[in-house]
Amino acid sequence: MATANADAAEVERLYELGDRLSSAKDKSQHAADYEAIIASVKGQNVKAKQLAAQLIPRYFRSFPALGTFAMEAMFDLVEMEELIRIQAIRGFPLLGKDAEFISKIADILEENVERDAVHKALMSLIRQDVKNSLQPLFKHVESGSEIREKIICFLRDKVFPVKAELLKPQAEMERYITDLIKKSVQDVTGLEFKLFMDFLRSLSIFGDTAPRESFQELIEIIQAQADLDAQFDVSDIDHIERWTSCIYMALPIFTRGASSSKFLNYFAKQIVPVFDKIPEEKKLDLLKTVAASSPYAVAQDSRQLLPSVVQLLKKYMPGKKVDDINHNYVECLLYTFHHLAHKTPNTTNSLCGYKIVTGQPSDRLGEDFSEHYKDFIERLTGTEDTVRAASKRLTQGMADFNKAISSAKTEEEKTKIKADQQKSTMTMRSYNNILAMSQPLHGKSPLFIGDKKITLSWMEQPKKPAASTAGGKRTQPASNGNAPLNKKGRGDGGMHNQLVNRAFEGLPRGGGRGSGRGRGRGGRGRGWGYR
């Protein structure tokens, strides 16, 4: 009974202290009252602590000399039972907005307690002072603190979606958060990097009307992530996947005029010389990235890369008809060859024995490259004969798919047959593309394809205009192996989504550790989490 009376008396005393502070015109004269409120946190009275959690923030700004003690008391309250903890967290936005304080609030995320309350407190502080609130949060990401992943999730779920509200004045604040992100992506996983890059691309300073220099800035961020200054190591799978995903991430930016030089030169100088040693499952990804990037290569880069492409073409195009070829490799390489040669046609004179006249000394028309021409044409012919034969066999087999689906007894069987049918359709596209690209190369002065006439087999196929009949009904165009497989993957196709999204798997919603923090890249830090 005595304890209950004492607890009630303590609560009543705190109310009296609060009332006195509330009515005082010069609150600074009542520092002893505020100190008494702070001291009540050390007691055993739960209701008194709840009341203190309300009163300490309410009068915090009136007693700057007691600020440190008040903050320590509030963080002590956070470590207590739920009702007290929630009340304390709700009072945080009234305490201050300096970097150290915001960082301490963020640290509470590590405790896995009252996440929503902490998020609300942080958002309240951010709305009060966006610049000074964001800096300590990004510092957690940059420094690799224990709560970095939870901070990233908070930024993704709470801050990024309201960027239009927070980033004002727009240009100044977008530049500020861009600089914070550039510092933070020094050591990130693939999923984290994609998150930050997607956000940067959503900013107006990198929008449709942005100058070319802005897009080059994005490319330089991606280049740094791809480790283009490092020696290529065929045993470092993380670096291979990082390079591949980074160049695919860069494709939409190449279309805006940013330079692809560093990526393409790295491929020619670092990757091609050791291409044979690269794991088979990674070779196709690399060739696809280069093929997708080749339309954006400038003439100088095309001249440097073409010898490497021709070298690989000769490796994978047989000099005579064989049972089969690696059609995916050949399709990628022929596509790359056309787009590079279109930029610098006379470079092919010394590589393939062509006789293309531009009037420049680099035509090298006085030199005899007839053996190169003979060898290249033989390889083209052998490839075409092989592809035609393989295409004929595939066409015969594809005719049986619909019958097999109709006779399948289980959904599992139907699913497998449809998957085989889809694979065969894509293979047929590849065969058709190889023939379409190889046939124009037989002449002494061939015309190289430098436009979008060829759509690579793994990319979304262009929709064909539907023909109208006399009755007004549209007829479905007959399939020739180029019907779209699905509607995903605009522009650079499904392979882009597959490669980049692999990096995005596993980022937890609302906190918790992700699955992709393996060590990689020679000790540089986080792997990209593909394996």
Q: Could you read off the pLDDT of 103-144 as tens digits, one per residue?
A: 667 766 555 556 787 888 889 889 988 998 899 899 989 888
Does some domain include residue 190?
no
Does some domain include residue 61?
no
| CA-CA-CA-CA torsion sign (35, 36, 41, 46) | negative
Instruction: Kindly report, residue by residue over 283-296, the tens digit of the pLDDT.
Output: 999 999 999 999 99
pLDDT reading at 437 higher than 60: yes
pLDDT reading at 420 higher than 60: yes
Query: H or E element: which one contains 468?
Result: strand 467-468
Does some domain include residue 518?
no
The mean pLDDT of 13-41, rounded to a whole number, is: 90
| Structural domain that includes position 350 | 317-358+365-457
Position 143 scores a pLDDT of: 85
Does some domain include residue 386?
yes
pLDDT reading at 253 higher than 60: yes
More confident residue, 29 or 519: 29
The mean pLDDT of 463-469, rounded to a whole number, is: 54
**520: which residues sit within 8 A by CB, 6+ positions away?**
236, 238, 239, 526, 527, 528
The mean pLDDT of 257-265, rounded to a whole number, is: 94
pTM of the full predicted structure?
Answer: 0.75
- φ and ψ of 237, to 5 deg: -60, -35
Does some domain include residue 23?
no
Instruction: Kindly report, residue by residue over 207-223, the tens digit of the pLDDT.
Output: 988 998 999 999 999 99
Give the residues across from 525 on adjacent strands. 520
Position 110 scores a pLDDT of: 55
Phi-psi sector, 188: left (phi>0), alpha (psi -120 to 50), beta: beta
The mean pLDDT of 484-506, rounded to a whole number, is: 42
pLDDT band for 528, please (50, 70, 90 cuts). Answer: low
Position 209 scores a pLDDT of: 87
pLDDT band for 495, please (50, 70, 90 cuts). Answer: very low
Does some domain include residue 354?
yes
Does some domain include residue 436?
yes
Give rounded-to-5 percent helix, strand, coil for the chain: 70, 0, 30
Q: What's the chain's average pLDDT? A: 83
The mean pLDDT of 340-348, rounded to a whole number, is: 96
pLDDT band for 514, please (50, 70, 90 cuts). Answer: very low
Instruction: Kindly report, residue by residue over 350-370, the tens digit of the pLDDT.
Output: 999 999 988 888 889 889 999
Least confident of 41-50, 237-246, 487-496: 487-496
The mean pLDDT of 463-486, rounded to a whole number, is: 41
pLDDT reading at 1 higher than 60: no
Q: How many domains does the chain have?
A: 1
Helix (H, G, I), strand (E, B) or coil at 443: coil
**Which of the 8 DSSP states describes residue 270?**
I
pLDDT band for 408, please (50, 70, 90 cuts). Answer: confident
CB atoms within 10 A of CB 235: 9
| CA-CA-CA-CA torsion sign (463, 469, 473, 478) | negative
Position 331 scores a pLDDT of: 98
What's the distance, Cα to Cα, between the start and end of the chain in Å? 64
pLDDT reading at 399 higher than 80: no
Does some domain include residue 163?
no
Least confident of 19-23, 374-378, 461-465: 461-465
pLDDT reading at 304 higher than 90: yes
Contact status, residue 157 vs residue 510, Cβ threshold 8 Å: yes
Kindly state the percentage of the chain with pLDDT values over 70.
83
Instruction: Kindly report, residue by residue over 136-180, the tens digit of the pLDDT.
Output: 899 989 888 788 888 999 999 999 999 999 999 999 999 999 999
Position 519 scores a pLDDT of: 32
The mean pLDDT of 307-328, rounded to a whole number, is: 94
More confident residue, 1 or 515: 1
**436: which residues sit within 8 A by CB, 6+ positions away?**
453, 454
